[in-house]
Chains A and B, each alone.
Chain A
Amino acid sequence: MRKPFALLAACLMLAGMVAPASVVAGEADPDQPSSAWSFDAPALRERFRIAGFGTLAATTTSLEDADYRTRIEQREGVGRTESTSLGMDSVLAAQLDARITAEVTATVQLVSRRVEFDDYSPGTEWAYLKYWSDENWYLRAGRLVAPAFYNSNVRSIGYAQTWLRPPVDVYLLNPLTWMEGGDIGSVFRAGDATIRAALAYGTADTRIYVTETSVSELVYRNWIAHASLETGPHRVRAMVWDIRGRIGNVPDNQILSLFETSIDALVAAGLPGASTLRGEIAYTEPIQAWFHNVGYGFMHPVWVVEAELVQRWVSGTAIQDAIGGYVLAGRRIAHVTPYLMYSEVRSGEDKTLPRIDASGQAMPLPFHAAVVNTIADVMTTNRSSHTIAMGARIDPMENLAVKAQWDHVRKPMGSPGDMFVNADPVWGATRQSVNVLTVAVDFVF
């Protein structure tokens, strides 16, 4: 999915280059932002703006029986695989904005970070055209941010945030960072308040790594409505997201394809409960989900507060319902902003699934029953976790922030915790506490 958008990114930039010079020459657009560099030729400088951001981070943990990861696609993290990781939280990005006409702009953001493998090849995070019909209304089309959370549009920009990384428990509930489609949005003033609202539609895909034999490719179609109100130091945002998705690689996913074979055999044999289970866990059928949240931020010269509540509801049992949230509070003292954050995710109401009893049946039905019962147990497993994080943001110079954050992650007995992979089976099944320490330098240029 990334290569076509690299091509689109190039096309958007080309469109900016071939647009009539007279169209942009009359624009009184600023020369360039202070943190950006631009081409020397005045015509190009008016039309193009390049800026970038990045994070260099080192992460270590007390964990030795599993890996701690920060993205659902990551096959490895810090802990069992390596004691200290320089790549898990590091990111480097460049953004090119081009003014094509007075009303149309193009934006391309390339991001290099570790996603699934230990591979930092840059990918196209955003590539879209934006059309302003007037000062209040706009349309965008292309690859856009997937506005899942209060901080989705800047989740990779460490410099724009107080914390070192978004709360992993909560942000793993929706791993999408971009989608391909469009949105219509508006920005209005009402007294002292600024109101932003948008309606978006788009498609996206993502890979969820569980084990080497189970990497699920989820394909989504999304309708999203979100709105925010900002007045003084306060900002409130709410979002509703309707997701229609499916797992696109069931035949290639050894665990899921084994489940499909087994449940079909049990249904064909007419074993009690098999049909009910088939209806609840159908990996080849579309999945409908709702994801909604409400967030609040308070940005005061001394105090910083941020909180968000997120709920995920999924039809069937292929993906669990969940509710999560976090609260962050910080206080600025000179150039240092120490902060404390608590985040938690809880599985939704327990879904009870029938167990298939194949005792007395001829092989391979007992084998199929064992497979199905095991997967049904996994699907109804509690996936709760919570994290207490303490950290500090230090601003020693312009456009650069140094951060340190300590995370104390706890998972109850039986919960694998979505932030852990490659876990020892005993470790994964028992109650655990994990400490993670990260030091990072965030910068913009």
Chain B
Amino acid sequence: MPASRALMMTLPLILAVACLLLSPTTRAAGSVSVGVNESESVMELTEDQVRDLFMGKKIVLPGNSQRVVLFDCPDKAVREAFYQRVAKRTDVQMRAYWTRMQFTGEGIPPQKPADSNELRQRMASTQGAVGYCKPVDMNVPGVRPVWQSGE
């Protein structure tokens, strides 16, 4: 068997073992809050409305005609908990889902700020912004909380 073939035969096993060993455990995320830019008229969203927005099935807020601008929480544990709750999918599945939406022109994926400070800042300064993160990140000037999950 040529060396290249032997390497190819063993590579998948090496990769699988390495990834299993390196897999981080997901810590508990606690409660998740959804907020909108304060200039929006909406005061409350249902879980179904939140799901529709973050799966690209609705592109405007209720009673509005302006497209929303979605923001993901920079905290991976919060993202995982949020998408498990509202979309019944993992964070990885949602990234694959949004890749499909993006490259077929069916939607624009949520933006991912580098940290919670940037999230707060961009939520407060972007008209049409809809984002989620820990409740403390949505209770800031310029952002109105409109939905919150339990613990």
Residues of chain A touching chain B, judged by Cβ–Cβ distance below 8 Å, are: 27-35, 49, 51, 53, 58, 60, 83-84, 95, 97, 105, 107, 109, 130, 135, 145, 153-154, 157, 159-161, 189, 192, 194, 232-233, 299-301, 332-336, 392, 394-396, 398-399, 402, 404, 406, 437, 439, 444
> Beyond A83-B5, A299-B93, A334-B23, is A34–B111 a contact (Cβ under 8 Å)?
yes
**A to B CB contacts below 8 Å, 22 in the list:** A27-B67, A28-B66, A28-B126, A28-B127, A29-B69, A31-B69, A49-B108, A53-B99, A60-B5, A84-B4, A84-B5, A97-B105, A160-B97, A160-B100, A335-B23, A336-B23, A399-B95, A402-B15, A404-B12, A404-B16, A439-B15, A444-B99
Bound form: Cα–Cα A394–B11 in Å: 13
Is B28 positioned at the interface, with any CB of A under 8 Å from its CB?
Answer: no
Is B96 positioned at the interface, with any CB of A under 8 Å from its CB?
Answer: yes
Lowest 9 CB-CB distances: which A-B pairs, in order? Answer: A404-B12, A34-B112, A334-B23, A394-B19, A60-B8, A160-B100, A33-B109, A30-B69, A160-B99
Q: Is the CB of A404 within 8 A of B23?
A: no
Q: Which of A153, A159, A398, A439 is B12 in contact with, Cβ under 8 Å? A: A439
Which A residues are CB-close (under 8 A) to B66?
A: 28
Is B92 positioned at the interface, with any CB of A under 8 Å from its CB?
Answer: yes
Bound form: Cα–Cα A263–B90 in Å: 61
Can you name the residue of chain A whose Cβ is closest to the Cβ of B55? A194
Q: Which of A53, A109, A404 is B11 in contact with, Cβ under 8 Å? A: A404
Q: Which of B8, B23, B100, B111 is A154 in contact with, Cβ under 8 Å? A: B100
Kindly list 11 other residue pairs between chains A and B, CB separation below 8 angstroms, not including A157-B99, A194-B57: A31-B111, A60-B9, A135-B59, A161-B96, A299-B93, A301-B89, A301-B90, A404-B15, A406-B12, A437-B9, A439-B12
Q: Is the CB of B67 within 8 A of A60?
A: no
Min CB–CB distance A154 → chain B (angstroms): 5
Bound form: Cα–Cα A114–B88 in Å: 37
Is B110 positioned at the interface, with any CB of A under 8 Å from its CB?
Answer: yes
Is B117 positioned at the interface, with any CB of A under 8 Å from its CB?
Answer: no
Which A residues are CB-close (under 8 A) to B5?
A: 60, 83-84
> Beyond A160-B100, A336-B20, A404-B11, is A83–B2 a contact (Cβ under 8 Å)?
yes
Bound form: Cα–Cα A37–B84 in Å: 28
Which A residues are CB-close (under 8 A) to B8?
A: 58, 60, 84, 437, 439
Min CB–CB distance A125 → chain B (angstroms): 10
Min CB–CB distance B64 → chain A (angstroms): 10
Q: Is the CB of B100 within 8 A of A107?
A: no
Interface residues of B, CB < 8 Å — how many? 47
Min CB–CB distance B96 → chain A (angstroms): 5
Can you name the residue of chain A whose Cβ is closest to the Cβ of B66? A28
Bound form: Cα–Cα A299–B98 in Å: 13
Bound form: Cα–Cα A233–B9 in Å: 35
Which B residues are CB-close (under 8 A) to A402?
A: 15, 19
Q: Is the CB of B104 within 8 A of A153?
A: yes
Q: Is the CB of B19 within 8 A of A51?
A: no
Which A residues are CB-close (under 8 A) to B90?
A: 301, 332
Interface centre among B4, B48, B108 (most CB of A within 10 A): B108
Min CB–CB distance B131 → chain A (angstroms): 12
Q: Is the CB of B67 within 8 A of A29?
A: yes
Which A residues are CB-close (under 8 A) to B52?
A: 189
Q: Which of A29, A33, A194, A396 is B22 in contact with, Cβ under 8 Å? A: A396
Q: Is the CB of A160 within 8 A of B103?
A: yes
Bound form: Cα–Cα A184–B84 in Å: 34
Bound form: Cα–Cα A300–B93 in Å: 9
Can you name the residue of chain B whose Cβ is closest to the Cβ of A441? B15
Q: Is the CB of A336 within 8 A of B95?
A: no
Q: Is the CB of A95 within 8 A of B11?
A: no
Q: Which of B11, B88, B110, B127 is A34 in contact with, Cβ under 8 Å? A: B110
Q: Is the CB of B102 within 8 A of A153?
A: no
Which B residues are CB-close (under 8 A) to A49?
A: 108
Q: Is the CB of B20 within 8 A of A334?
A: yes
Bound form: Cα–Cα A437–B84 in Å: 33
> Beyond A34-B72, A332-B90, is A396–B99 a contact (Cβ under 8 Å)?
no
Bound form: Cα–Cα A15–B98 in Å: 27
Min CB–CB distance B137 → chain A (angstroms): 17
Which A residues are CB-close (under 8 A) to B15?
A: 394, 402, 404, 439
Of residues 56 through 108 on chain B, the ones whose CB sits less than 8 Å from some CB of chain A are: 57, 59-60, 66-67, 69-70, 72, 84, 88-90, 92-93, 95-100, 102-105, 108
